[in-house]
Amino acid sequence: MNLRRTANLLLIVLVAARVPFGCSDDSGSDVEVDATRSDGSSLTADDRQAIAFVQKKIEEHYEKGPDGWTTALELKNVFGAVMPGEPEIPFEQYREFKLSIEIRFVSEADKLNGIDYVAGVNVATTPKRVFRSKQTWEGPAGWSAWKDNSILQITVFRVKGEWRVNDTAFFDSKKPAPGTMPAGS
């Protein structure tokens, strides 16, 4: 009986502390995810699917390397169309990704539009840096210094069984081609 009580107490302490767990795929990439919702309640099957969808999107747009997660930026016009040429900042890098989920209310209008699940997936504050292809008024060519980056929230929702994210600049890039990422600092 004492062993069972101790195990239950340990479980409660771990959940209350929101001990994070990693989720890896076959490529060895690792995006850290909180074990509970932001309100401390247990993750549901829908929450896990939403998080898995965001993890997949991250892995489609970012490459995990020794210094962090890197994405390749593209030169775009004011309408968002890709233009020829290389941007002054061709790469952006985050040291790590830590995700947590915050459930949102599904409105009557959402339901009428086929939405049955909405959540905010928070990407926790993590150091970020950029790579400049040439010197600009913002700094010299090469990797910038690491800077603290504020928390970002990605809205994820399910419409008629299909997972989607809001239109966010966080995924407005592409995974770098093999061998194109500049070496670390």
Q: Residue 27 is encoded by which pair of tokens?
A: 């490529």
Cα–Cα distance list, 28 to 59, 61, 101, 109, 116 (Å): 11, 16, 23, 40, 32
Top pLDDT among 80 and 18 is at 80
Per-residue pLDDT tens digits for 35-94: 888 888 999 999 999 999 999 999 999 999 889 999 998 888 788 788 887 888 899 999
Q: Output 149 or 176, whichever has higher pLDDT.
A: 176
pLDDT score for 18: 35
Asked if the model's pLDDT at residue 154 lies above 70, the reply is yes
Per-residue confidence (pLDDT) for residue 86, from 0 to 100: 80
Q: Map out the domains of the chain as residue ranges.
A: 21-171
Residue 120: pLDDT over 50: yes
pLDDT category at 151 given cuts 50, 70, 90 is confident
| CB-based contact 16:41 (threshold 8 Å) | no
pTM of this structure: 0.76
Mean pLDDT across the chain: 81
- pLDDT at res. 76: 80
> What is the DSSP pairing of strand 91-94 with strand 128-132?
antiparallel
Average pLDDT over residues 22-39: 64
Angle CA(24)–CA(163)–CA(167) in degrees, nearest 5?
100
Q: What is the DSSP string of 23-74?
A: EE-TT--EEEEEEEETTSPBPPHHHHHHHHHHHHHHHHH-EEETTEEEEE--
Mean pLDDT of 175-179: 86
The answer to whether 38 and 122 have CB atoms below 8 angstroms apart is yes
